[in-house]
């Protein structure tokens, strides 16, 4: 649904902070009459006309745009991935599975992708999905026919051409091999050409749920799409995403039964009580202590190593996240299973004496002063900053914490790169290239000024690799380089905790922001 | 007979002791503040993560926070900043607001129109905009924090004072004083102010509490205290997320702020009574 990749800079952080929250409400389940025969439930109930099943989930904020090609917010994607689909869609394991294309083949040179479009897929307005709609969607994403010709996403930068030679085929040719291309397609929605100009007001997609209404600061309502290309009989009929900004309010509403599903912070978990089900999973975030490599003394490897040795990640996880986080060693969460290089967490273990020795060795026996600038838009940063400052003080580094407003952070630190050090969390992506590409010297938002030609070479080899094994190997080596270089101090991946009524079954975590409604069920 | 009447009057207006409860309580708060300046049971920013979120005990009388820091020590250390910013902002609000309120309420006319429109404009501006303006012009710092909060609080004091003076200037004793040739300054300061001061003092007490809390709100602009340094408002803010698991964490700064504001209110009351007593002698 959305072009998150294209707007890396915006989507990047934002979401993690807001973190959490969703809610679902479990109405007593009543079987639709149509499936009463298939489901031998209590006969008395199946005889009566079924009451539609309903679920109320909490979300924290208004969607940034209902048009999936324009929206950049992960929290919007979390909802709207239920409404829109691309040729492929995300899978819980981080890969992709067929969606509007029932299969695809890649040419031996890795440059031509041929998709066989699914017969029988329909838009929510009842119209069949045609090759023309697919063509329209890619043209729109690539900016063809728009007044300024600007693409709506950077994900298709490597695309040479998109063609639909016949009603059941879509052929995409690339300019150069891009091993992560297929992953990028998972969040690029196919939209009906007939709805042009209305995508942000009356969105029409092909997903298992259709958009019903949106009331700003109140709710987004979705409804099961009966003509979906997969079996929808067991899915919940109506789903409401209620917009509740405050965590404590949401928790109270869950406990009072007003909502059925919400994200809860780790501090709230103990107060939840035993009458709710909780699903916790790593967020696929990467929370880092970023240092500006263009500013002395952070340009010196031994200084960065000393800082890494001074930081006690376990204490941070305990104090700030109540233990609900996993320790990282490089810029990738274990959630990225296939690509994740394990064992890097202990590249520079917590060891204040070693840190002091390293500092003395390079002429800072008494440490040095530095400023840690953190955004105030989520208290996660300020709280982590305090404990980081405390740990660095123990090796003689005198940290001044500077709190800045989020707009200032984006402008001064992220864009103009005027800072010593900062704390930031990168939110999850499906594509390892998008996760690790931040440290490429030519990446536009390489705001820490990391520059290592060996790293750039590994990343280039990975994305141009036609052999998946080679690609995985290069990404793993790249993680090792980041860890050994202390490109940043890679702290942790925090967890999301979703609390729901016990009747809600099938909640499936994804490595990206996505509440997959099609897998949810209500039991009695 | 005369004697009896005289005694009755005297007992209706007994002379107040110099040190009323307000003086004692305020003295207590200031003493704790001074103590916290010189020494605290633990270093206020010292972390001890294994001992986090511990309920009050003999080792930690007010418990510990999420980093295992001693809450009592942080309250004592934060008193200086919270009281300095709170009292500074309140003084500024009261001096400027009361002056404007006295002038507009007493004289009325174009002065009233001009100054009160200015106050309305200030009221309409969200406080945060004023704070941003001050940061942009003078930069960050404790003094500027007090300045920003002081300006934010002035319009309310001005409104309260003005309405008190609108009533006061029509009182017979004021009209009599004016008729006897008392100057405007004498009428305002000697006759109206002592009799109309109660609502102003109440507004000032509320202003003090507001400033102590608002200071925490400003730190996200980089204007208030910066972490890890404690202030009462910040502590209360940080405690909110733990309210379900660590009741003492929010209770301690909450009670402390209440105590300080109550002390100030009682003190103001004592002062007012002392003024009235002196006036009647």
| Min Cα–Cα distance to chain A from B243, Å | 9
User: Considering A195, A229, A251, which residue would you say is the last residue of a domain?
Assistant: A195
* Cross-strand pairs, A425: A287
Residues A302 and A422 reside in one and the same domain: yes
| Contact across the interface for A386 and B227, Cβ inside 8 Å | yes
Whether residue A280 is contained in a domain is answered as no
Note the pLDDT of residue B215.
Answer: 82
Cβ-nearest to A267 among B46, B220, B241: B241
Q: What ipTM was reported for this prediction?
A: 0.73
pLDDT of residue B272: 78
Q: Would an 8 Å CB–CB cutoff place A265 in contact with chain B?
A: yes
Q: Which residue of A has its CA nearest to B223?
A: A403
Domain identity same for A245 and A340: no
Q: From chain B, pick out residues whose CB is under 8 angstroms from the CB of A376.
A: 219-221
Which residues make Cβ contacts (< 8 Å) with residue B278, sequence separation at least 6?
none
The SS3 call for residue A167 is coil
Residues of A in contact with B221 (CB under 8 A): 376, 403, 405
CATH code, domain carrying B241: 1.10.3720.10
Check if A371 contacts B (Cβ < 8 Å): no
Is the Cβ pair B67, A385 closer than 8 Å? Answer: no
Say how many domains are in chain A.
Answer: 3
Mutation to test the A interface, candidates B241, B246, B249, most A Cβ within 10 Å: B241
The whole-angstrom distance between B208's CA and the closest CA on chain A is 25
Residues B122, A435: Cα–Cα separation, whole Å: 47
In a domain, A136, yes or no: yes
Instruction: Say if the Cβ atoms of A270 and B228 lie within 8 Å.
Output: no
pLDDT at B73 over 90: yes
Is the domain of A296 the same as that of A157? no
How distant is the Cα of A4 from the closest Cα of chain B, in angstroms? 28
Distance between CA atoms of residues A165 and A173, nearest Å: 13
Among B102-111, B177-186, B204-213, B222-231, where is mean pLDDT lowest?
A: B222-231
Where in the sequence is the domain holding B211, given as residue range(s)? 81-280
B interface with A, Cβ–Cβ < 8 A, is 45-47, 49, 52, 66-68, 219-222, 226-228, 238, 240-245
Query: Whose CA is closest to A182, among A203, A158, A211, A199?
Result: A158
One domain, residues A468 and A324 = yes
| Inside any domain, residue B160 | yes
Distance CA B262, CA B253 (A): 14
Q: How far is B141 from chain A (nearest CA, A)?
A: 12
Low-confidence winner among A23-27, A109-113, B190-194, B214-218 (lowest mean pLDDT):
A23-27
Residue A60 sits at the chain B interface (C-beta within 8 Å): no
Tell me the C-alpha distance between B237 and B235, whole Å. Answer: 5
Q: Is residue B234 part of a domain?
A: yes
pLDDT score, position A9: 40
Helix (H, G, I), strand (E, B) or coil at A109: coil
Q: Which residues of chain A have pLDDT under 70?
A: 1-49
Beta bridge partners of A371: A400
DSSP-derived 3-state class of residue B15: coil
CB < 8 Å to A382, chain B: 227
Q: Is there a single domain that holds both residue A162 and residue A250?
A: no
Query: 3-class secondary structure for A326-382?
Result: EECCCCCCHHHHHHCCCCHHHCCCCCHHHHHHHHHHCCCCCCCEEEEEEECCCHHHH
| Contact: A267, B227; criterion CB under 8 Å | no
| Any domain includes A37 | no
Residue B49 domain-assigned? no
Residue B204 lies in a domain: yes
Q: For a pLDDT cut of 90, what percent of chain B falls above it?
A: 40
Sheet holding A159-163, edge to edge: A101-106, A112-117, A169-174, A159-163
The pTM for the full model equals: 0.77
Chain B contact present for A352, CB below 8 A: no
Residue B85 forms part of a structural domain = yes
Q: Which residues form the domain of A267? A: 1-14+47-83+207-273+503-524
- The 3 state secondary structure assigned to A128-159 is ECCHHHHHHHHHHHCCCCCCCCCCCCCCCCCE
How many Å lie between the alpha carbon of B49 and the closest alpha carbon of chain A?
6
- Domain assignment of residue B51, yes or no: no
Q: Give the chain B residue nearest A372 (alpha carbons).
A: B227
Distance between CA atoms of residues A391 and A315, nearest Å: 10
pLDDT number for residue A37: 39
Task: Report CB contact under 8 Å: A270, B220.
Answer: no
Q: Is residue A181 part of a domain?
A: yes
Asked whether the predicted pLDDT for residue B147 surpasses 80, the reply is yes
Which residues in chain A touch residue B46, judged by CB atoms under 8 angstroms apart?
A: 390
pLDDT-derived band at B240 (thresholds 50, 70, 90) equals confident
- In this structure, is residue A27 part of a structural domain? no
Which residues of chain B lie closer than 8 angstroms to A387, CB-CB? Answer: 47, 49, 67
Reported as a pLDDT band with limits 50, 70 and 90, residue B279 is low
pLDDT score at A49 = 60
Q: Which residues of chain B have a CB within 8 Å of the CB of A401? A: 226-228
- Residue at A19 is within a domain: no
Which DSSP string do the residues of A46-68 spell out, in sequence order?
HHSPPPPPEEEEEESS--S-S-T
Among B66, B219, B220, whose Cβ lies nearest the Cβ of A319? B66
What separation in angstroms does the CA of A27 have from each of A35, A43, A46, A240, A524? 18, 19, 16, 12, 9
Evaluate whether residue A444 is within a structural domain. yes
Among candidate residues A195, A229, A250, the one where a domain is terminated? A195
**Is the domain of A361 the same as that of A385?**
yes
Taking CA–CA distances from B65, the nearest residue in chain A reads A319
Q: How many interface pairs between A and B have CB atoms less than 8 angstroms apart? A: 63
Say yes or no: A368 and A305 in one domain: yes
The answer to whether B45 contacts A319, with C-beta atoms less than 8 Å apart, is no
Count of the separate structural domains present in chain B:
1
Same domain? For A10 and A69 the reply is: yes
Q: Say whether B67 and A379 touch across the interface (CB within 8 A).
A: no
Is position B37 within any domain?
A: no
pLDDT for position A24? 32
CATH number where A237 lies: 3.40.190.10
* DSSP string computed for A459-504: HHHHHH-SSHHHHHHHHHHHHHHHHHHTSSEEEEEEEEEEEE-TTE
CB contact under 8 A, B49 and A318: yes
Same domain, A182 and A95: yes
Do A347 and A424 share a domain, yes or no?
yes
CATH code for the domain of A389? 3.10.105.10
Q: Same domain for A130 and A218?
A: no
Residues A359 and A421 reside in one and the same domain:
yes
pLDDT at B200 over 50: yes
Quote the mean pLDDT of chain B: 85
What pLDDT is attached to residue A338?
84
Last residue of a domain, one of A137, A170, A195: A195
Q: Are A330 and A380 in contact (CB under 8 A)?
A: no
Cα–Cα distance between A385 and B47 in angstroms, integer?
A: 13
- Domain-embedded: residue A461: yes
A383 vs B: CB within 8 A: yes
């Amino acid at each position: 649904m959305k072009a998150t990749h294209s707007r890396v800079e915006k989507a990047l952080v934002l979401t993690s902070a807001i973190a959490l929250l969703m809610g679902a409400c479990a109405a007593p389940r009543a079987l639709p009459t149509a499936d009463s025969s298939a489901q031998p439930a209590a006969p008395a109930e199946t005889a009566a006309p079924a009451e539609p099943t309903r679920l109320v989930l909490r979300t924290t904020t208004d969607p940034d745009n209902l048009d999936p090609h324009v929206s950049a917010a992960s929290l919007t994607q979390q909802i709207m991935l239920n409404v829109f689909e691309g040729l492929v869609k995300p899978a819980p394991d981080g890969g992709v599975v067929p969606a509007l294309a029932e299969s695809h083949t890649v040419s031996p040179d890795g440059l031509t992708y041929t998709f066989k479009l699914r017969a029988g897929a329909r838009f929510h307005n009842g119209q069949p999905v045609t090759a023309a709609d697919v063509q329209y969607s890619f043209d729109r994403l690539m900016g063809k026919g728009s007044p300024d010709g600007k693409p709506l996403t950077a994900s298709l930068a490597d695309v040479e051409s998109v063609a639909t030679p016949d009603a059941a085929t879509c052929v995409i040719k690339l300019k150069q091999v891009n091993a992560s291309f297929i992953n990028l397609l998972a969040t690029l929605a196919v939209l009906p050409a007939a709805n042009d100009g209305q995508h942000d007001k009356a969105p029409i997609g092909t997903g298992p749920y259709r958009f019903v209404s949106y009331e700003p600061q109140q709710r987004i309502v979705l409804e099961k799409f009966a003509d979906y290309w997969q079996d929808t009989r067991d899915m919940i009929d109506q789903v409401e995403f209620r917009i509740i900004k405050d965590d404590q309010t949401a928790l109270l509403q869950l406990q009072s039964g007003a909502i059925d599903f919400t994200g809860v912070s780790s501090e709230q978990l103990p107060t939840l009580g035993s009458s709710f089900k909780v699903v916790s999973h790593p967020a696929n975030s990467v929370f880092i202590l970023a240092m500006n490599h263009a500013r002395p003394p952070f340009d010196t490897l031994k200084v960065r190593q000393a800082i890494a040795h001074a930081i006690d990640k376990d204490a941070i996880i305990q104090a700030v996240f109540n233990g609900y986080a996993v320790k990282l060693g490089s810029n990738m969460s274990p959630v990225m299973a296939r690509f994740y290089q394990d064992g890097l967490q202990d590249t520079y273990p917590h060891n204040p004496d070693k840190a002091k020795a390293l500092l003395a060795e390079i002429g800072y026996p008494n440490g040095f002063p530095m400023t840690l600038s953190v955004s105030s838009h989520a208290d996660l940063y300020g709280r982590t900053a305090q404990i980081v400052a405390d740990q660095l003080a123990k090796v003689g580094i005198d940290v001044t914490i500077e709190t800045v407003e989020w707009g200032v952070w984006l402008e001064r630190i992220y864009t103009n790169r005027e800072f010593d050090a900062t704390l930031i969390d990168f939110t999850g992506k499906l594509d390892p290239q998008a996760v690790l590409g931040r440290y490429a010297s030519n990446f536009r938002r390489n705001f820490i000024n990391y520059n290592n030609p060996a790293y750039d070479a590994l990343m280039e080899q990975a994305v141009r690799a036609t052999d998946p094994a080679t690609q995985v190997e290069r990404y793993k080596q790249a993680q090792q380089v980041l860890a050994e270089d202390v490109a940043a101090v890679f702290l942790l991946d925090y967890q999301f905790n979703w609390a729901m009524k016990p009747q809600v079954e099938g909640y499936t975590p994804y490595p990206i922001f996505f509440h997959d409604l099609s897998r949810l069920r209500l039991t009695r | 007979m005369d004697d009896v009447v005289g005694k009755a009057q005297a007992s209706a207006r007994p002379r107040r002791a110099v040190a009323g409860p307000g003086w004692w309580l305020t003295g207590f708060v200031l003493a704790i503040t001074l103590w916290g300046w010189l020494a605290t049971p633990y270093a206020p920013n010292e972390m001890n993560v294994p001992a986090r979120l511990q309920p009050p005990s003999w080792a930690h009388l007010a418990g510990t926070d999420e980093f295992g820091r001693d809450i009592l020590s942080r309250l004592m250390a934060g008193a200086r900043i919270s009281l300095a910013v709170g009292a500074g902002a309140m003084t500024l609000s009261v001096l400027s607001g009361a002056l404007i309120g006295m002038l507009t309420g007493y004289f009325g006319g174009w002065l009233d129109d001009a100054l009160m429109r200015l106050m309305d404009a200030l009221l309409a501006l969200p406080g945060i905009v004023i704070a941003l303006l001050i940061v942009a012009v003078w930069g960050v710092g404790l003094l500027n924090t007090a300045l920003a909060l002081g300006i934010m609080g002035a319009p309310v004091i001005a409104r309260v004072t003005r309405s008190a003076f609108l009533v006061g200037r029509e009182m017979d004793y004021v009209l009599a004083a004016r008729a006897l040739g008392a100057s405007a300054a004498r009428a305002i300061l000697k006759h109206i102010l002592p009799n109309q001061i109660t609502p102003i003092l109440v507004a000032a007490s509320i202003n003090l509490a507001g400033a102590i809390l608002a200071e925490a709100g400003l730190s996200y602009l980089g204007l208030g205290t910066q972490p890890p340094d404690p202030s009462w408002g910040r502590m209360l803010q940080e405690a909110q997320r733990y309210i379900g698991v660590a009741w003492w964490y929010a209770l301690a700064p909450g009670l402390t702020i209440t105590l300080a504001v109550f002390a100030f209110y009682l003190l103001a009351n004592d002062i007012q009574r002392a003024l009235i007593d002196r006036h009647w002698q």
